[in-house]
Amino acid sequence: MQIAILTFDGFNELDSFIAAGILNRMRARGWSAQITSPTDEVTSMNGVTIRRQQPMRFAETADAVLIGSGIKTREIAQDADVLASIRLDPKRQLVGAQCSGTLLLARLGLIGALPACTDLTTKPWVVEAGVTVIDAPFIAHGNVATAGGCLASQYLAAWMIARLAGEQDAREAIHYVAPVGEKTPYVDRAMAVVGPFVGGGASILAPAA
Helices 13-23 and 167-177: crossing angle, nearest 10°? 120
Give the Cα separation of 42 and 48 in Å (integer). 8
Q: How many C-beta atoms surround the C-beta of residue 143 within 10 A? A: 20
Residue 113's pLDDT is 78
**Residues 14-25 pLDDT 10s:** 999 999 999 999
Give the Cα separation of 66 and 61 in Å (integer). 13
Q: Are 153 and 190 contacting, i.e. CB atoms less than 8 angstroms apart?
A: no
Q: Are 42 and 50 contacting, i.e. CB atoms less than 8 angstroms apart?
A: yes
Domain 2-202, CATH? 3.40.50.880
**Residue 99 identity (one-letter amino acid):** C
Determine the Cα angle at 13 with ends 12 and 15, to 5°: 70
How do the domains of the chain map onto residue ranges?
A: 2-202
Q: Residue 171's Cα: distance from chain center in Å?
A: 18
Q: How many C-beta atoms surround the C-beta of residue 206 within 10 A? A: 9
Q: Quick one: which of 10, 16, 92 has its CA closest to 53? A: 16
**Residues 30-88 pLDDT 10s:** 999 999 999 999 999 999 999 999 999 999 999 999 999 999 999 999 999 999 999 99
Q: pLDDT category, 199, cuts 50, 70, 90?
A: confident
Q: pLDDT category, 202, cuts 50, 70, 90?
A: very low
Contacts of 118 (CB under 8 A, 6+ apart): 99, 100, 102, 103, 126, 133, 146, 148
Per the model's pLDDT, the better-predicted residue between 44 and 129 turns out to be 44
